[in-house]
Structure 1
Amino acid sequence: MDERVAGTGSPLRQLITLAVPALGVLAAEPLYLLVNTAVIGHLGAVPLAGLSVGAIVLAQIASQMTFLSFGTTARAARLHGAGRRADAVAEGVQATWLGVAAGLVLVVAGELLAAPVAGLLAGDDRVAAAAVGWMRIALLGAPLILVTMAGNGWMRGVQDMRRPLRYVLVGNGLSAVLCPVLVHGLGWGLDGSAVANVAGQLVSAGLFVRALRAEGVPLAPVPAATRAQLGLARDLALLGLAFQACWVSATAVAAHTSAAASGAHQVVFQLWMFLAFVLDALAIAAQALVGAALGAHEAERARRLAWQVTGCGLVFGALLGVVFAALAGILPRVFTADATVLAEMPHAWWFFVALQPIGGVVFALDGVLLGAGDAGYLRTATACGAVLGFLPVVWASLSFGWGLVGIWSGLSVFLLIRMVTLLARLRSGRWVVLGAVR
């Protein structure tokens, strides 16, 4: 059997080989969002706060539909490990159909609910109005986002990390070029940012569809395969819901604190998400390799990979913390010149720095357990972290006026709970289930 499938080479070397292009894919979107944030930040505090509210709503789409990427990777990786590439690619076909259908539903729902949702999340009428305009345009890209997620999922499963990197870089590169031109050059303001988003998403989704057609597998929807994917979707959707309850609550509390606090939270939170995706590069590689090892009935290799990726996550997270501690006096000014926003920034910044090593371990373990198809445990552990840690602290922050310090304290408790529960699962070995399908 091929070494790439059977995994007879060095696990650490394979991990790094897959993680490098995965890093580019994962970093491309949040890196573009950082560019977008910097472009909008120079319009002032209100547009920046409007982007914060709109972007967190759009993020719900990706978070609630993670099974299109992570779930598809888990199923495709096991089939690939068992030597069934055509079946692995077929998982991508069904995920793509699901993405199109769900995306169209989200477009209709989003257009109808944009105004009330923005009004609920924003503490200022001007911020709500800015957010609504951005959301109504950006939500048109929902089906395109989901098709891209499905494409990433099956390609990761068959350990093809290079083509997704090219596709995502082309789309996000186009968006990055268009954003300042439309926002400042043509004077479209915040709406220009949303148009740039959709244009890039259209290009990326088109490239993934073309790649799927070139595989030569049947492209018709298969209801039985779709139902199998939806079983995993339930756990991953609940997992995403727990995350988004936290992120939306944080955004709402920041918006109700002040426009400056909301703007500062947007900058630091986008940096956090960027680094989370960077750290997830190791997790994505581990997901593909762990899934393939379990599909090939190589339990010991899967366990060894799990501990190696956890150690790498810790080291990489610590290094990122050192780098961003050194940039504390420089980087915030890249995103905004607003003095009130800059004054709020340190209240979140040092939490962001200190949490990097913990985040490195947590995100690595997410990848291991998702590769094993252990989404049910992840769902429960994340829900416990949200209900027992993040949400009580963040809403207490609103009641007692703790501001960004309270919000980021909640995030700290959330991550610590997740780290303890995931390490316990790793040590137990109960996630090791062999075979092409879990």
Structure 2
Amino acid sequence: MTDDTAAGVPDAPQTRRLLSLAGSAFVVLAAEPLYLLVDTAVVGHLGSRPLAGLGVGAALMALLTVVGTFVEYGTTGRAARWFGAGRVDAAVDEGVQASWFAGVIGVLVVAAGEIFAHPLIGLLAGGNTDTQHAAESWFRIALLGMPGVLLVLAGNGWMRGVQRTREPVVIVVAANAVSAAASPLLVYTAGLGLTGSAIANVAAQAVGAALFLRALRRSATTLRPNRAVIKAQARVGVDLIVRSAAFQVAFLTAAAVAARMGTAQIAAHQIGLQLDEFTALLLDSFAIAAQSLIGAALGAADASSARTMAWRVARWGLYAGVAFALLYGAGYAVIPRLFTSSAPVLHQAHLLWPWFVALLPPAGVVFALDGVLIGAGDVGFLRTITVISAVGFFAPIDIAALHWHLGIGGVWAGLFAFIAVRFVGMVLRTRTDAWVVTGT
């Protein structure tokens, strides 16, 4: 591959492939947070109490999802290496084994979550009984969709690995479109309130899981579990689980701190967090493309292409981050009003807004390089830098914001630090050859 910098012009075919993969990943990644944003808007107009309950319940749901996220990212990298080596059958089999793994983990998570829902939500709600009751009513229903959540993650993982871009778009968009339409009907028309939101959430996950399993059955040579492959996936999964757990410890700390500041603060934090997660997943579309392309290049023993692609995807991530920062900066007065009409909540949202906008450009690079290193299998480094950023910077700054009464702006200063530390560490890592390991 011709290096972009040396040639003075982009390597057009590879850039087009990157943008094609990123575009399909963009749509898939956007579908779920778009549904959540619609759901947040629907629930938000019920009042601050249901919105605060949704914020706490969704935070705990995200924590439990951590135990299965590796079935997506770990599967993409492993499947992509087989695909690059010309072994499509082995690549699809990674999806079969990941789906078995996802189903078992999903059932276990549902059981554990139902048992410990009350104390965990009580801890996050900070003694606010109204918020706790609302959060628990939503969470106990939404949790039933966890097996579907993990099966969808596994399906996205193997399809990205073999660079099948259209099917995940159709499946995920269809599932979430049905659910987004159902949410306002169940919440308002049927009069179910916050409970209707949870039911719509479960419906989306069930439909998506069924469609991915149908696609897997049509593509696989066998659907039998393979212990050797599952064990290999589990080894990769350990580092990715620790990485994801570090994320969730920090974000749960932020949610707990915001809840203890007041109802308006946790409601505003929920709005900001949903927008941040929505944007992060869209920026992550370049990371998804990088996982597939980097894994395939290294599987084909093409180290030069992998290095060139790493910096290309980082540049595109930066461009996207700047674009989103400009968009949200311009929407300072308008966007929060789409989610609430409460004056106290709007005031708190405006306090966190400058931090939210400032973190987006470096976040674009961070997410892109996340994909590079996951595709390369350099998950040990990702685990370490994420733990340092979350436990050493994000969580302590949030706790300090509560102790010294720095308000919701202090909470979001912690999130900015979380991005900044990872930015420095990952750029330095990518400049080395430690991640460039070829072969299957």
- Specify the TM-score bucket, using the shorter chain as the normaliser: over 0.9
Output aligned runs, 1:6-45, within 5 Å. Answer: 10-45=13-48
State the shift of 1:64 in Å: 3.0
Displaced runs of 4 or more, over 6 A: none
For the residue of structure 2 that corresponds to 1:10, the secondary structure is helix
Structure 1 contact 175–197 (Cα < 8 Å) conserved: yes
Which residue of 68, 73, 86 maps to 1:70? 73
Q: Structure 1 vs Structure 2: percent identity of aligned residues?
A: 50
Structure 1 contact 11–301 (Cα < 8 Å) conserved: no
Give the aligned partner of residue 415 of structure 1.
419
Q: Deviations over 1:33-79 (max 9, x none)?
A: 00000000001111000000000111123333221100000000000
Q: Which amino acid aligns with 1:406?
A: G
Structure 2 contact 96–220 (Cα < 8 Å) conserved: no
Write the distance in 1 (CA, Å) between the matches of 2:165 and 2:64. Answer: 23
Is 1:165 paired with 2:132? no
Q: Which amino acid aligns with 2:409?
A: V
Structure 1 contact 58–135 (Cα < 8 Å) conserved: yes
For the residue of structure 2 that corresponds to 1:108, the secondary structure is helix
Is 1:341 paired with 2:345? yes
Write the distance in 2 (CA, Å) between the matches of 1:362 and 1:64. Answer: 22
Which residue of 361, 364, 367 maps to 2:365? 361
Give the aligned partner of residue 274 of structure 1.
278
Write the distance in 1 (CA, Å) between the matches of 2:405 and 2:117. Answer: 28
Structure 1 window deviating more from structure 2 (56-65 vs 239-248): it is 56-65
Q: What stretches of structure 1 of length at least 5 have no aligned partner? A: 1-7
Write the distance in 1 (CA, Å) between the matches of 2:153 and 2:138. Answer: 22
Which residue of 368, 382, 387 maps to 1:383? 387
Give the aligned partner of residue 214 of structure 1.
218
Is 1:100 paired with 2:110? no
Output aligned runs, 1:74-85, within 5 Å. Answer: 74-85=77-88
Is 1:59 paired with 2:83? no
Is 1:405 paired with 2:409? yes
Output aligned runs, 1:70-149, within 5 Å. Answer: 70-123=73-126, 124-149=128-153
For the residue of structure 2 that corresponds to 1:432, the secondary structure is coil
Q: Deviations over 1:71-120 (max 9, x none)?
A: 00000000000000010000000000011100000111111111111110
Which residue of 187, 194, 203 maps to 2:198? 194
Which residue of 299, 304, 316 maps to 1:300? 304
State the shift of 1:9 in Å: 7.1
Question: What is the TM-score of this pair, normalised by structure 1?
Answer: 0.97
Q: Which amino acid aligns with 2:246?
A: A
Is 1:225 paired with 2:267? no
Write the distance in 2 (CA, Å) between the matches of 1:217 and 1:49. Answer: 47
Structure 1 window deviating more from structure 2 (38-47 vs 52-61): it is 52-61
- With over 3 angstroms needed to count, the CA separation of the structure-2 counterparts of 1:409 and 1:216, relative to structure 1, is closer
Output aligned runs, 1:169-188, within 5 Å. Answer: 169-188=173-192
Structure 2 contact 92–220 (Cα < 8 Å) conserved: no
Q: Which amino acid aligns with 2:79?
A: A
State the shift of 1:200 in Å: 1.1
Which residue of 285, 290, 293 maps to 2:294? 290
Which residue of 426, 433, 436 maps to 1:432? 436
Q: Which amino acid aligns with 2:101?
A: L
Write the distance in 1 (CA, Å) between the matches of 2:392 and 2:207. Answer: 41
For the residue of structure 2 that corresponds to 1:345, the secondary structure is helix
Write the distance in 1 (CA, Å) between the matches of 2:65 and 2:133. Answer: 23
Q: Deviations over 1:198-249 (max 9, x none)?
A: 0111110000000000014210111111100000000000000110011101
Structure 1 window deviating more from structure 2 (214-223 vs 250-259): it is 214-223
For the aligned residues, what is the CA RMSD? 1.0
Which residue of 49, 60, 81 maps to 1:46? 49
Q: Which amino acid aligns with 2:34?
A: L
Write the distance in 1 (CA, Å) between the matches of 2:211 and 2:291. Answer: 24
Is 1:350 paired with 2:354? yes
Write the distance in 2 (CA, Å) between the matches of 1:250 and 1:171. Answer: 30
Q: Which amino acid aligns with 1:196?
A: A
Q: Which amino acid aligns with 2:287?
A: A
Give the aligned partner of residue 378 of structure 2.
374
Q: Which amino acid aligns with 1:219?
A: L
Question: What is the TM-score of this pair, normalised by structure 2?
Answer: 0.96
Write the distance in 2 (CA, Å) between the matches of 1:338 and 1:165. Answer: 36
Give the aligned partner of residue 5 of structure 1.
none
